[in-house]
Structure 1
Amino acid sequence: MAEFISYGASVPTNFQDSISRNVTTTPITLAEFGLDIPTTNTDVVLSGTVGLRSALGAPDVLLRVFRDSAVIGSTISSPFALLEFRNIPLSFVDENVTTGFHIYRLTAQLTTSSITTNATVVGPVSIIGKGIQK
C-alpha cells in the first residue's frame, strides 16, 4: 500500500487577475518549493495551475516543472486569441525520486520571439507536490 510521506506547495495567488507578470522568451519562475524525500521508492505527484492572458498576437507559452535542474514535465498552451484568458491545469508524476531535499520550480516562457506576440501571467498560480512511498 502506498504511504503519503511528504508535502510541499507554493501558491503565489489563488485568484484570477491578482498578478501581472509578462512572459518572455527567457524562462521566468512563477512558483517554487522545497520537498524532503526521506525514503527510497518515492514518487512525487505534482499538480498546479497557471492563469494566462494573451496581450498581443497568438503566443505559445511553454510551462515547465523542474526538480532541481531536471525537467520533470512540460506543456505548451497555444495559440491564444487576443486578450483571451486561459487557466492551464498541470499534472505530472516524478517517479523514483532520490532521497534528500529537492527544489521543485514552475516556469513559463514564450516559445517564439516576436514584437507582436505577448502573454501575461495573471493568476491563479500554484504548484503542489505530494511524496508517496510505493
Structure 2
Amino acid sequence: MTSALPAKAAAFCREMAADELADLARRHGAEDLYGRAVAVLRAGHLTPELESDLDVLDALAERELSEGFYPAHVLAYQPLPGEQASTGAQRWACPTGQCAGRGRVRPGQGADPPVCAARQTPLVPRPLDA
C-alpha cells in the first residue's frame, strides 16, 4: 500500500507511543533505523529518507506481526453537490502540519488532546474537511 508521507509519519508516531515497534526494531537489528526516523520526526522534517526508513520499518512489522502500521484508510470528506461544504466534524492534527494527525475529535475530548509521540506536543483540533 502506498500512502502520503504525512499519513505514514502519523502512523509511525502512534507506534512510537506504544513502544512495540521500538522493541521489534531492537530485536531485529534495526534500532539505528528506528532511532534515525525518531530523530528526523523530532527535528520536524519530512524527508524522502524518512519515508524510506518508515517503509522498511513497516515491512518489518508486516513480516513479524502480519500487520503493518500504515493506516488502511484515510479520513476524507467531500460534500455532495449542492450540500453544505462543512460537516463541523474535527480531527486531531499535528500543530506543525508534520503528520496527518490521529483520528476524530470526540465530543468533550477537546480539553484532553492526545500528544504527539515524536514531538511531545498536544495535537490540535482542525476541521475534518480542511
TM-score by length of 1: 0.25
More strand per residue: 1
Could you state the TM-score of these two structures normalised by the residue count of structure 2?
A: 0.25
Q: Which protein has the bigger helix share?
A: 2
